[in-house]
Amino acid sequence: MLKQFLNFKLSQKLSPQQIQLMKLIQLPTQAFEQRISQEMNENPALEGGKEEPENFDQDINDDYQDTTDQAPEINIDEYLSDDETPSYKLNANNYSADDQQTHIPYAAGQSFTQHLMQQLNTYRLEESEKEIAKFLVGSVDESGYIRREIADIVDDLAFTQNVYTTDTAVENVLEKVQELDPAGVGARDLQECLLLQLKRKQQNPKVVLASGIIKETFDHFSKKHYKKLLQKFSISEDELREAIAEIESLNPKPGGSISSNTRMIEHVVPDFAITIVEGSLELTLNGRNAPELHVSREYANMLKGYKESNDKSKSQKEAVLFIKQKLDAAKWFIDAIKQRQQTLFVTMNAIMHQQEAYFLSGDQRKLRPMILKDIADKIGMDISTVSRVANSKYVDTPYGTKLIKEFFSESMKNDQGEDVSTKEIKKILEITIGEEDKRKPLTDDKLAQILKEKGYPIARRTVAKYREQLELSVARLRKEL
């Protein structure tokens, strides 16, 4: 048996305007400009640039309902204004059109694969060998390696290129591909890459010894077991040092020297700029985050014509309803942009004052512990809003362009019970490792002891974690002769 009853329930839902604002806040400057361009293409009622006199008032009443048979009466006066100077032109901003960066260079050139193909065309190869060689060149990655087994390549040649061959034939063609420039290209692992480069060098005692080390004792070399190398080759420390210097002069990623020159570079456009003026910090918002938008004059004239018309047909009313929908969308978008500007500035201003000591000195050891909640509580906004600003925005400082989220860090207690930033500890750890005797590098236990003596009582495993985050090797791999 079916029954009907009422059920009351409270729930929180974001309005379309709030969702639009959240999406705009997380966009960096270049993506924000693209979003504005997209909105202007989709909404003809929205225009950019400075507005002419007799402006269209953007205070739109959006509480209307659209009907199919009868369109509601619309108060056109709410959309028209005789003000010569709109209110937004009286607002003071801290940005200028002069700050905009309008020219973005792009890289253009030859790809790494094309570079290899051009060299391959100078070789005299049989038709079958040429097909195999082209496939091998196409399998070379950006670093210059072929990271595939010969058997897999033979299978792919049969299935995708209809070329039936053998492992031996592919090996023979691979040797020719490995003769291409840069030296080391087409190698299947680092050991082979280094050997290919040493093979092209002028053969002298240093190069011969270096080749022997890589070919016979690559594992000992990679783990820096220098004593075993000295015993294996019966050489002096000076001879080993010269051979290692020869190896270190080689390029472990031969493809990087060419592919990096042709790769499209993503340019970072700072969303903020912090400058030091007479010992005080000054924050400005990039002018590209503050576009001048207004409602189309043509749409204003349409509404004027509708108001002055004596005979208002159903089709005219429907057209006016369509115009109103576009005007509402334009107003919401312009309001969202203004809220975005305010949110960005307020959030970054709080971060700047929280890390004032760092921005005045540039010393990472002066970064204070700071989490998202600290800033959210200070500006009275949600943590998710602060996260959207911090994760995708950059700030131009006197010490370089920085990602805002880099200023956030957890806190730890020093020996005096004060909260210090983990970034401060990492910086001291990095300096300590940089100043160590490379003949006897400091172990994690020694590093933990040194940090404890400097007032940072942290465990050895914490030192190991911070060292890995700094991409520093263990003591044995930092050792030098």
For the segment 406-460, what is each residue's pLDDT rounded down to a tens digit? 888 877 777 777 777 788 888 888 888 888 888 888 888 889 888 888 888 888 8
* 3-state secondary structure (DSSP) of residue 23: helix
Quote the pLDDT of residue 274: 92
pLDDT in tens, 166-211: 999 989 999 998 998 888 899 999 999 999 999 998 889 899 999 9
Contact 463, 429 (CB under 8 A): yes
pLDDT of residue 68: 36
Residue at a domain's end among 260, 292, 327? 260
pLDDT reported for residue 470: 85
Residue 389: the pLDDT is 85
Distance, CA of 413 to CA of 421 (rounded, Å): 9
Q: What angle do CA 296, 285, 99 make, to 5 degrees?
A: 80
For residue 455, being part of any structural domain is answered with: yes
263 confidence band (pLDDT: 50, 70, 90): low
* Stretch among 21-25, 264-268, 353-357, 408-412 having the lowest mean pLDDT: 264-268
Say how far residue 208 (Cα) sits from the centre of its chain. Answer: 44
Q: What angle do CA 233, 235, 239 make, to 5 degrees?
A: 120
Residue 64: per-residue pLDDT: 35
pLDDT confidence tier of residue 37, bands split at 50, 70 and 90: confident
416 occurs within a structural domain: yes
Is residue 325 helix, strand or coil?
helix
Residue 401 has pLDDT above 80, yes or no: yes
Contacts of 428 (CB under 8 A, 6+ apart): 365, 451, 454, 456
Question: Of 225, 260, 295, which one is at a domain's C-terminal end?
Answer: 260
Whole-number pLDDT of residue 52: 54
Quick one: pLDDT at residue 71? 43
| DSSP run (H or E) holding 118 | helix 112-120
Q: For the chain, how many structural domains are there in total?
A: 2
CA dihedral 154, 159, 163, 168 (to 10 degrees): 10
Domain with 459 in it: 411-478
Percent of the chain with pLDDT over 90: 11
**What's the average model confidence in pLDDT over 227-255?**
89
The domain boundary residue, chosen from 260, 277, 292: 260
User: Rounded to an integer, what distance in angstroms lies between the CA atom of residue 251 and that of residue 143?
Assistant: 10
For residue 151, being part of any structural domain is answered with yes
Write down the pTM of the prediction: 0.56
3-state secondary structure of 432: helix
Question: What mean pLDDT is predicted for residues 220-236?
Answer: 88
Cα 51 from Cα 424, distance rounded (Å): 50
Model pLDDT for residues 106-123, shown as the tens digit of each residue: 455 567 888 888 888 888
Please give the full DSSP string across 130-180, using - where no structure is assigned.
HHHHHHHHHT--TTSB--S-HHHHHHHHHHHS-----HHHHHHHHHHHTTS
Vertex 295 angle, CA 290 and 296, to 5°: 125
Cα 372 to Cα 48, 360, 367, 384, 422: the distances in Å are 35, 22, 15, 8, 15
Assigned domain for 62 exists: no
Q: How far is CA 330 from the centre of its chain?
A: 30
Residue 348 falls inside a structural domain: no
In CATH, what number is assigned to the domain containing residue 467?
1.10.10.60
Considering only residues 85 and 312, tell me which one the structure prediction assigns the higher pLDDT. 312
Give every CB contact of residue 117 below 8 A, 6+ residues apart in sequence: 134, 137
DSSP reduced 3-state for 264: coil
Q: What average pLDDT does the segment 253-280 reach? A: 75
Strand order through the sheet with 280-285: 280-285, 272-277, 394-397, 400-403
Token duo for residue 398: 């006197």
The predicted structure's pLDDT at residue 67: 35
Beta bridge partners of 420: 412
Question: Looking only at Cα atoms, what is the longest distance across the chain?
Answer: 108
> Using the 8-state DSSP alphabet, how is residue 182 labeled?
S
Query: What's at 427, amino acid-wise?
Result: K
Is residue 292 assigned to a domain? Answer: no
Q: What is the mean pLDDT of residues 305-330?
A: 72
Residue 399: pLDDT over 70: yes
State how far the Cα of 295 lies from the Cα of 56, in Å rounded to an integer: 6
Phi, psi of 231 (to 5 degrees): -70, -40
DSSP alpha helices (H): ranges in 203-273? 205-216, 218-222, 226-233, 237-248, 256-262
Q: Is 281 contained in some domain?
A: no
- DSSP-derived 3-state class of residue 293: strand
DSSP character for 323? Answer: H
The answer to the question of residue 289 being in a domain is no
25-34, 255-264, 302-311, 345-354: least confident range? 255-264
Q: How far from 26 is each of 96, 361, 381, 387, CA to CA, in Å? A: 22, 29, 15, 8
The DSSP 8-state label assigned to residue 58 in this structure reads: -
380: left (phi over 0), alpha (psi -120 to 50) or beta: left
Task: Tell me how far apart the alpha carbons of residues 190 and 172 are, in angstroms, rounded to a whole number.
Answer: 20
Sign for the pseudo-dihedral over CA of 154, 159, 163, 165: positive
- 8-state DSSP, 272: E
Average pLDDT, the chain: 79
pLDDT grade, residue 62 (50/70/90)?
very low
Average pLDDT on 121-133 reads 87
Torsion angles phi and psi, residue 179, rounded to 5: -85, -10
**pLDDT at residue 15 above 80?**
no
